[in-house]
Structure 1
Amino acid sequence: MFGEYTTMAYPGRFPTVRMRRNRTNASIRAMVAENHLTPADLIWPIFVIDGDDCREPVSAMPGVNRISVDLAVKAAKEAEALGIPAIALFPNTDPALRDEKGSEAYNPDNLVCRATRAIREACPDMVIVCDVALDPYTSHGHDGLMSGNEIVNDATLEALIRQSLVQVAAGCDTLAPSDMMDGRIGAIRQALDDAGYQNTRILSYAAKYASCFYGPFREAVGSSGALKGDKRTYQMDPANSDEALREVELDLAEGADMIMVKPGMPYLDIVRRVKESFAVPTFAYQVSGEYSMLATAFELGRLDRDRGILESLMCFKRAGADGVLSYFAVDAAKLLNE
């Protein structure tokens, strides 16, 4: 029966068409691959702490450490040597420096600013991404200022502007507002232009969801214990998709140069919709909870580490992301360079 079947002509069908021909070996698979992952697609998030030659493990994120500024410089040099073009800095601020207004955020000598200056001097061509939000600096753990139990939008904008200007003065070339206050992109863009920083990029966390996947990150920056309530009045509802497109459209109109979707893998449909709708540089954040799930599975031997890292990152590219923030960035770059 099978022999008779294979002798019949089926133009455009089996046996004339055999999809496995283009999977025969590694060379042909590489040649016909629709998407490619390289170290240039990666941004490496780094947690910074005070001190010298200090390294503290983040218990909720196996293999991730908080590091002092001097070690952050070494990390940036390592990333640069591997072909990773960008790092993103996040501070673990001393609780004694946190207050209701998050005033340490606009201290020109704060932890992020010191790290930015040191890395800029050591790696002049490195893209340095600085988070714009108040949660690492507030005693209540929120991204904005509070009045009673309310996160006040418009008053927060002034604080975000001040934070942005000190970061850019320190050498940051890419601001990444992650606070989700309405109107913050336009306010920051105007302030940057007025101060002569027309070339500073804004990578907007336009579609940032109120997600449980941020838990390990909050431990890493020391805000989890301080957080009062939750962030659902300003971060997006995970049930919504059309709303993300409205957020992106508004941020682009206000002057955003690039767009971030956060979290990553659970929101690949949002990445696809954003890229197809706006055709602008679109990034995704493989957040701490995603990292921790995978890292734990690797440690337990449930998943192959090398294949798991690269496959998880490739899915972002397939969805339409131009790049990915990932705590696996260095491991992935090493695998790709091999």
Structure 2
Amino acid sequence: MQFPTVRPRRLRASKLIRDAVAETSVDPSDFIYPIFVKPSGGAEPISAMPGQYRWPVGEPLVRHVEEAVALGVNKFILFGVLPDELKDAVGSGGYDPEGVVPRALRLLREAFGDKILLFADVCLCEYTDHGHCGVVKERRGRPHVDNDETIKLYAKEAVAYADAGADFVAW
């Protein structure tokens, strides 16, 4: 055996993953459907994306995913959305195990089991009160994103999502 050896076992782990990476014609099961989730309330239209909504974690979200599954879509990526009053300087809503995305992941995993693949977006911009994708600090009199601190928070966020049931995290 020569080095390096390619062992693509991870991509053969289940029929759903094999179907996701197979060379096939375009089919609804090939799509990854983006869903924007919020803590509570009703479904809220996103004006910049006609036909898209922010879905509350709960029964409306489950019904929406059921409709997509009935059409053949079985892969979903979740993006968290928080109201301004829940945002902070370090985006703690992104890595809170009881945050909006982990709650949505657990709900959908319980409702659908392994019939769907769940992806989760790892980023802090939707959880920070300043809108940047990381921890902002002053350096030489100017604000900058502290990459070292930010990466630690991204890791916490990815682990929170994996623990809650995400099959993949998207960076």
AA matched with 1:153: N
Deviation of 1:48 after TM superposition, in Å, equals 1.1
Query: Which residue does the alignment assign to 1:299?
Result: none
Tell me the TM-score normalised to structure 1 length: 0.41
**1:57–1:64 CA contact under 8 A, matched in 2:** yes
- 2:121 counterpart SS class: strand
Deviation of 1:56 after TM superposition, in Å, equals 0.9
- Deviation beyond 4 Å, 4+ runs, structure 1: none
AA matched with 1:86: K
Tell me the TM-score normalised to structure 2 length: 0.78
AA matched with 2:137: S
AA matched with 1:107: D
AA matched with 1:61: M
Unaligned runs of 5+ in 2: 1-23
Structure 1 segment 1-338 matched on structure 2, within 5 A: 36-52=25-41, 54-69=42-57, 70-125=59-114, 126-148=116-138, 149-177=143-171
CA RMSD of aligned residues (A): 1.4
Please list the CA deviations of residues 61-101 of structure 1 after superposition, one character each: whole Å capped at 9, or x if unmatched.
21211111221211222222222120111121121111111
Deviation of 1:163 after TM superposition, in Å, equals 0.7
Relative CO higher for 1 or 2, CA cutoff 8 Å, sep ≥ 6? 2
- 1:123 counterpart SS class: helix
- 1:143 counterpart SS class: coil
AA matched with 2:162: V
Please list the CA deviations of residues 162-193 of structure 1 after superposition, one character each: whole Å capped at 9, or x if unmatched.
1111111111111001xxxxxxxxxxxxxxxx
Percent identity of equivalent pairs:
38
Please list the CA deviations of residues 25-60 of structure 1 after superposition, one character each: whole Å capped at 9, or x if unmatched.
xxxxxxxxxx832112101101112225x1111112
User: For 1:67 and 1:161, how far apart are their aligned partners in 2?
Assistant: 25
**1:89–1:128 CA contact under 8 A, matched in 2:** yes
User: For 1:104 and 1:63, how far apart are their aligned partners in 2?
Assistant: 26
User: For 2:70 and 2:113, how far apart are their aligned partners in 1?
Assistant: 13
**1:77–1:122 CA contact under 8 A, matched in 2:** no
**2:93–2:100 CA contact under 8 A, matched in 1:** no
**2:134–2:150 CA contact under 8 A, matched in 1:** yes
User: For 1:65 and 1:105, how far apart are their aligned partners in 2?
Assistant: 20
**1:117–1:171 CA contact under 8 A, matched in 2:** yes
Unaligned runs of 5+ in 1: 1-34, 178-338
Please list the CA deviations of residues 264-286 of structure 1 after superposition, one character each: whole Å capped at 9, or x if unmatched.
xxxxxxxxxxxxxxxxxxxxxxx
Deviation of 1:136 after TM superposition, in Å, equals 0.9
Query: Which residue does the alignment assign to 1:319?
Result: none
AA matched with 1:176: A
